[in-house]
Amino acid sequence: MINTKEFYDYLIEKNLDFFAGVPDSLLKNLCACIKDNTDDSHNIIAANEGNAVALSAGYHVSSGKYGVVYMQNSGIGNAVNPLLSLADEEVYSIPMLLIVGWRGEPGVKDEPQHIKQGKVTIELFNTMNIESLVLNENYKEQIDYCYNYMKQNSKPIALIVRKGTFEDYEIKKPYNNYTIKREEALETILDCLQKDDFIVSTTGKTSREIFEIRERRQESHDSDFLTVGSMGHTSSIALGMSIGSNKNIYCIDGDGSFIMHMGAFSIIPTVAQKNFKYILINNGAHESVGGQPTVGFNIDIKKLLLSLGFNDVYTASTIEEIKEYLPKMRDKKLQALVIYTKLGSRDDLGRPTISPVQNKKAMMDKFKDR
């Protein structure tokens, strides 16, 4: 295992002092260490991984230094475009150090959404002609190698991080002043919905909690599309679903996900009909992967959604408010509810025991039945 602070200190020693990225569970100790020790102007928690690559590119052009971009391998897809059409040696030829958490590494048990991505991670870098090294205990030599490589070749290089590579770094418990937990908010939402309503829920603990609430209540899962991967696309999946059926579709999103592909919200009001309903659970953090902050509390989301064309945007921070506002959204078009919650989830939170394909098939049958 690598001592996380010593790894960070070595990056700084090599003048690799600008960080941008999206947090990842495998990198949560490193992300916490970067956050603790770096000025906010030099650690940008980006909306998505493509933005992080572009930030790092801009930083290089003006400073001459090499940026460090951290991401989960799920984020490679978001990064491919700026890696190939901005940083690539056949375009602007911009060096940067990519640090990529390897979820779904072959032979290591992981969730379904990580299996394919894990299998093709190294191949994807090979295809992009980006050299990649699997990070190990000789990290100083590896960082030296990457540094010299960037200097000589003026192009990105990647360090791939296996599960359990970094030692624990004391993660400061993230905190906000709200009082209800996400799981309580979700329980209340489910209480307020009707039997023939459908849900599309976002990546991370939101979907895991919905799954467990249904199990606890001995209810079926066939009304819930638990978006296990594809972070940031929940609202577009829900929008598509609302076009394919006249049933009510409730999108339950997270602030990190909302911010990741916020562009979708410029389209939603131009397309959505009465059956598309948007609920955002805003805890100001990427809670599912370690609680790194988002800008969820810096944005006036109500104003933003209204300006984009939503007709009503309710905000709630208590169970009573959720119960009051959710039913009001039922028969009107372009309705949204933003729920502010505290951080935290149960230690024993499980994961869906049905596969994504089973989940989809059951839901398709339910749509057909009606």
Ligand X SMILES: Cc1ncc(C[n+]2csc(CCOP(=O)(O)OP(=O)(O)O)c2C)c(N)n1
Binding site for ligand X (CB under 6 A): 22-24, 72, 74-75, 78, 182, 202-206, 231, 254-257, 283, 285-289, 294
Identify the burial level of 252 via C-beta atoms within 10 angstroms of its C-beta, where 0-12 means exposed, 13-18 middle and 19 or more buried: buried
Least Cβ distance, residue 18 to ligand X (angstroms): 20
Least Cβ distance, residue 313 to ligand X (angstroms): 18
Least Cβ distance, residue 204 to ligand X (angstroms): 3
Q: Name the DSSP letter for residue 29.
A: H
- Please state, in angstroms and rounded to a whole number, the distance separating the CA atoms of residues 49 and 76: 7
Q: Is the dihedral of CA 70, 73, 75, 80 positive or negative?
A: positive
Position 160, amino acid: I
Return the number of the residue (60 or 182) whose C-beta is nearest ligand X: 182
Pairing status of strand 67-72 against strand 249-254: unpaired
Least Cβ distance, residue 144 to ligand X (angstroms): 29
* Angle, in degrees to the nearest 10, between helices 28-37 and 4-13: 50
Question: What tokens were used for 115?
Answer: 């299996």
Least Cβ distance, residue 318 to ligand X (angstroms): 19
Q: What is the CA radius of gyration of the chain?
A: 21
Return the number of the residue (95 or 204) whose C-beta is nearest ligand X: 204
Return the number of the residue (78 or 317) whose C-beta is nearest ligand X: 78
Contact 30, 43 (CB under 8 A): no
Contact 18, 70 (CB under 8 A): no
Q: Which residue's Cβ has the minimum distance to ligand X? A: 254
Closest CA relative to residue 97, chosen from 163, 159, 33, 17:
159
Return the number of the residue (150 or 185) whose C-beta is nearest ligand X: 185
225 SS3 class:
strand
Least Cβ distance, residue 14 to ligand X (angstroms): 26
**Separation of CA 216 from chain center:** 26
- Please state, in angstroms and rounded to a whole number, the distance separating the CA atoms of residues 49 and 30: 16
Least Cβ distance, residue 48 to ligand X (angstroms): 7
Return the number of the residue (67 or 204) whose C-beta is nearest ligand X: 204
Return the number of the residue (60 or 286) whose C-beta is nearest ligand X: 286
- Please state, in angstroms and rounded to a whole number, the distance separating the CA atoms of residues 143 and 137: 11
- Please state, in angstroms and rounded to a whole number, the distance separating the CA atoms of residues 166 and 232: 27
Return the number of the residue (80 or 243) whose C-beta is nearest ligand X: 80
Least Cβ distance, residue 235 to ligand X (angstroms): 11
Least Cβ distance, residue 248 to ligand X (angstroms): 22
Beta bridge partners, 224, equal 199
